[in-house]
Structure 1
Amino acid sequence: MAEAGATRRIAEWVAEVPRARTAQVAGLAADGMRDAIGCILAGAGEETPRRVAAAVARWGGGQARVVGSGQGLAAPWAALVNGAAAHVLDYDDTFAPLSGHATAVLVPAILALGEETGASGPELLDALVVGLEVMACVGRGVNPRHYALGWHATATIGAIGAAGACARLLRLPARATCDALSLAVSMAAGTRMQLGAMAKSVHAGLAAKAGVLAAAMAAEGVGGAAEALEGQWRFAEMFAGRPAPDGAFDPPGDNAKLAIEAVGISYKAYPTCAATHLSLDALLALRAATSFGAEDVAAIETELPMVLRRNLMHPRPTTGMEARFSMEYCLAAAATQGRLGLDDFEGDAIHRAPIRVLMPRIEMRGLPEADGAPPPATSVRVTLRDGRVLDETREIRRGAPENPMTQADHAAKFRDCAARMLPAERVDTAAAAIAALAAGGGARGLLDALVR
C-alpha cells in the first residue's frame, strides 16, 4: 500500500491523538481561550462585526450566539461574526508557524460549533490544541514563503486549522477529517492587501466559518481530494510556489511536545499590528529610562525586517484601523504619552495635535532578509533636541513565549477588554467561566457568561 499523503497523515493524527495527551496542556489552551475571548468582547461593539452580523441576520437565526449581543445564528455565521470581532482591534495573539493570528480563528469556530453541539469545556480546549497543531503542520510546509508572497495566513492556513479543530470537536474519523481539511483548502483565501481595511478583520471570521462548514460537510459525507497539501495544484505548490520541505507537514510523534507548548502562543501587549511591537518595546524602554517627552524629540528612526515593514502601509492614517498599521502613528503616540492602548485608536484620538506634530519626525526603514537566515533585529534610535542620541534593540517582543507577559498583565488585559462589552460585575464571571473549562463547564454555559 502506498504511503499516506500529508493530508491523510495530519487527518489521522487529528482523529486519533489521545485526549489525555492534549489534556496535559489544557492550562495553556485556557490561556489562549481567555485572550481570544477578551479580544472578541473588546471588538464586539465595533463597526465591522456589527455590519457583518447585520448582513448574515437576513438568513435567519440559530443556536450559536454572537458574543456580547447574544444574537442567535447558525454556527457558521456566529463563527464569522465572532471571528471578525476577535481580529478587528488587532489585539489578538500570533502564532509563529502560522505567521498569523491563531486563536482569533480557532476560538470563534470552536465556540460556535461547540454551542450548537453542546460540547464540554475539556472538548473545547482539546479542539483548540488540535487546531493549533494543524496550523503548525501546514505553516511549516509553506512558510515563510507563503506569507512573503502576500497571503494573509490567518485567512488561508487559518481555514485549514479551523477545519481540523472542528473535525476533532465532531469526533470525525480520519477519512472524514481528511475530507474536512481538503474542503478547507478549497475555501482558503485572503491577501495582505486588506491590511487597514475592514476586510482584514473579516478574514479571521471567514476562516472560522470555513472550518465549521468544512467539518460539517465532511460529517455528512461530502468528499474532497484525498491529498490537498502536496503535489500538483495542491496547497504548497499553489500558495507557496514550491514543494514543502521533506517532513514539514508531519504531525508530532508520540514523544514530541505539542506546538502549543513547543512553540507557544505570542500574546499582544499593544492593540496594533505585530510588526510595530518590537519598535514599541524599544521606544518605551528608552522613554522609561530617560523620561523624555514628545517636545524633546528631534527624530525617531526605526529599522526592522522588510517583511514586517511591508505591513505598515499607512504613514498618515485617517482611521483607527489604518493607525494600527502605521509605525509613525504608533511610535508618536507612545513617545507622547508613554503607553499605547485601545483608546488611542478610537474616534478623534488619532488626530491629536502633539502626536501629529511628531509623526513627520519618524522614519522607518526595512532591512533585507537573507534566505534561511534569522530575521534581523529591530532597532530604535531617538535623537533629542539637546543632542543626546538614545539607542535600543529588540529581537523578542513582549508577550512572546521567550519574553512572556505576567499573569497580572494577562488578567489586566482581559478586564480592560471585557469591560468594553460587559457590565463590571460580569467581567469576573466571564473570567471564572473560562477558568472552569478544564474542570467541566461547557460551551453553552460559557456563552451565557459572555452576553450582556
Structure 2
Amino acid sequence: MTASRTTEALACWIATVPRDRTARAAAPAIAGMRDAIGCILAGAGEETPRRVAAAALRWGGGSAHIIGDGRPLPSPWAALVNGTSAHVLDYDDTFGPLSGHATAVLVPAILALGEDIDADGPALLDALVVGLEVLAAVGRGVNPKHYALGWHATSTIGAIGAAGACARLLRLDARATQDALSLAVSMAAGTRMQLGAMAKSVHAGLAAKAGILAATLAAEGVGGAAEALEGPWRFAEMFAGRPAPEGSMAPPGPDAPFAIEADGLAFKAYPTCAATHLSLDALLALRPRFTPGQVASIETDLPLVLSRNLMHPDPHTGMEARFSMEYCLAVAASQGSVGPADFEGAALTRDAVRALMPRIAMRGVPEPEGAPPPQTTVRVRLTDGQVLQETRSIRRGSPGNPMSEAEQEAKFRDCAARILSPARIDAAEAAIAGLATGGAARGLVALLVPG
C-alpha cells in the first residue's frame, strides 16, 4: 500500500465492513464491554474522576451521563469523565497491538455518543470491534518504537481508534471517516511522564473525548489532510521517528480474523500497572512456600521498557503505588493477594508491607527491537539460605493465559458493587449480555447509577 493511501484504505474499511461480519465477534466484544463498564463503576468514586466531573459540569448539561453518578453532560465531556473513571484504578484491559489500554477509551466514547444518537446494542458492539481494529492497525505501524519513545499509546493511538469507532457509530461515509481519522491525529497526545499522576488517568478520557469530537466535526464537513498516518509530518514518522513497516497499517482482508479475535483483549487480574503483572504472577505462585518473616530479599528481572514505567519506589498515593514494583510485590508477599483495597487510604502505610519494601529489588533487562521480550523472573531468598525462583512469560488474564468466565464475572460484580446494589448489578449484567440482540445505550447507561 502506498503511503498516500493508507488513511483512505482504513477509512473505507471502517465505513464499509459488513455488520454481519463484525457481529460474529459479538462474544469477545461483550466481554470487553463488561470489563470496561465494571472498571468505570469501580473508579467512579475516586478523586480524579470526581475532579474531572466538577470541571466538565461547568459547561452545562447534555444528553449523555456520568456513569455511577447520573448527572448529564454533552457527550464529549461524559466520555472524558467516564474514560477517566475507567482508567483510574489501572484495572482496565490492555491490548497487545496498541501497547496500551483499549476499552477504557473506546467504551466511554461509544456509550456517550451512543446515548446522544440513541444507538442500539448491536451498533455499540459493532463500533467496539471496529475501533479495536483501528487501534491494532495504527499500533502495528508505530510500535514498539512509539511506546519505547515514551508516548502513552492509550492517549495517542487511542484518540485515533476512538475516532474510527465513533465514525462507525455515526455511519459516516468513507470520506468523512477519513477526515475523522485525520482530525484525531491532530488531537493525539500524552506521554508516559504522567505515570503515577492524576493526568495519566485523564489520558483515557481525553482520547475518548477526542474520538467523539473528531467524528462529530467530520460529520459536519470539517476536513483534514487526506493522508494522516504515513509520510512526512504524518503520525507514524512523527510519533515513531521512522516510516511504518510496509503494509502494517492495512485493514484486514475479507477472510482475515479481526484483531479482537486474533490478538484478543488482556483482562487484568490486579489493579496495577501491567508491568507488575508477570512479577506478581510469579511471586504469588511461590507464596505458599514461604511466610513474610522468612523473606531475606525478593528480586525480579523484567523487560527494561516495562521497568521504566515503575518509577515510584516509595509511593505516597494509591496511583503512585500502582506504579511501584516494590509496593506491589510487598503486598503480594505479605498477604498472598493484591486487590483494589490495597491502594486506598491507610493500606499504603501498613507496617508489614513497608517492612518488606526495602528488601525488594527490580532489574530492567534490555531487549533489542523486534526480539521477543525476555521472560520475567522472581527470586525469593529466604533467611535460611534457600532460593525460590519462578519465571513467567504470559500474564494471567491475557489471551494466552485467560481468566475463566467465572473469574471475569466475579471481577465485574466486585467492581460494580462499589456503586450498585446487587439487584442493579444483575440488571446491568443482563443488559450487557443482551447487547448483541437488543438493548440500547440509553437503557444500559440508565442502569449504571444507583437505583
**TM-score bin (small chain):** over 0.9
Distance 1:293 1:247, change over 3 A: same
Detail structure 1 runs of 4+ shifted over 3 Å in the superposition.
Answer: none
- Match in the other structure for 1:342: 340
- Match in the other structure for 2:251: 251
Larger displacement relative to structure 2 (78-87 or 432-441): 432-441
**Aligned with 2:361 (options 356, 360, 363):** 363
For 1:27 and 1:441, how far apart are their aligned partners in 2? Answer: 15
For 1:3 and 1:91, how far apart are their aligned partners in 2? Answer: 37
Deviation, 1:5, is 1.0
Residue identity over aligned pairs, in percent, reads 74
Partner SS for 1:24: helix
- Match in the other structure for 2:58: 58
- Match in the other structure for 1:421: 419
Structural mapping, 1:44-123, within 5 Å: 44-123=44-123
- Match in the other structure for 1:126: 126
Please list the CA deviations of residues 51-106 of structure 1 after superposition, one character each: whole Å capped at 9, or x if unmatched.
Answer: 00000111100010110110100000000000000000000000000000000000
For 1:31 and 1:393, how far apart are their aligned partners in 2? Answer: 29
For 2:215 and 2:368, how far apart are their aligned partners in 1? Answer: 39
- Match in the other structure for 2:15: 15
**Aligned with 1:436 (options 417, 434, 437):** 434
Q: Does the alignment pair 1:311 with 2:315?
A: no
Larger displacement relative to structure 2 (82-91 or 370-379): 370-379
Q: Is the 8 A contact 2:330 2:357 kept in 1?
A: yes
- Match in the other structure for 2:263: 263
Letter of the structure 2 residue corresponding to residue 257 of structure 1? P
**Aligned with 2:403 (options 402, 405, 420):** 405
TM-score norm. by structure 2 comes to 0.99
Letter of the structure 2 residue corresponding to residue 416 of structure 1? D
- Match in the other structure for 1:186: 186
- Match in the other structure for 1:380: 378
Partner SS for 1:413: helix
For 2:132 and 2:369, how far apart are their aligned partners in 1? Answer: 26
For 1:21 and 1:421, how far apart are their aligned partners in 2? Answer: 35
Distance 1:231 1:336, change over 3 A: same
For 2:328 and 2:257, how far apart are their aligned partners in 1? Answer: 37
For 2:230 and 2:62, how far apart are their aligned partners in 1? Answer: 37
Deviation, 1:156, is 0.1
Deviation, 1:433, is 1.0
- Match in the other structure for 1:226: 226
Q: Is the 8 A contact 2:3 2:231 kept in 1?
A: no
Cα RMSD between the aligned structures? 0.8
Letter of the structure 2 residue corresponding to residue 235 of structure 1? F
Letter of the structure 1 residue corresponding to residue 209 of structure 2? K
Aligned residues: 449
Please list the CA deviations of residues 190-233 of structure 1 after superposition, one character each: whole Å capped at 9, or x if unmatched.
Answer: 00000000000000000000000000000000000000011111
For 2:331 and 2:291, how far apart are their aligned partners in 1? Answer: 11
- Match in the other structure for 1:143: 143
Deviation, 1:451, is 1.1
What are the ranges of 5 or more consecutive residues in structure 2 without an aligned counterpart?
Answer: none
What are the ranges of 5 or more consecutive residues in structure 1 without an aligned counterpart?
Answer: none
Deviation, 1:424, is 2.4
Distance 1:3 1:194, change over 3 A: closer
For 2:249 and 2:162, how far apart are their aligned partners in 1? Answer: 16
Letter of the structure 2 residue corresponding to residue 187 of structure 1? M
Partner SS for 1:393: strand
Letter of the structure 2 residue corresponding to residue 327 of structure 1? M
Distance 1:140 1:257, change over 3 A: same
For 1:12 and 1:414, how far apart are their aligned partners in 2? Answer: 35
Deviation, 1:3, is 8.6
- Match in the other structure for 2:349: 351
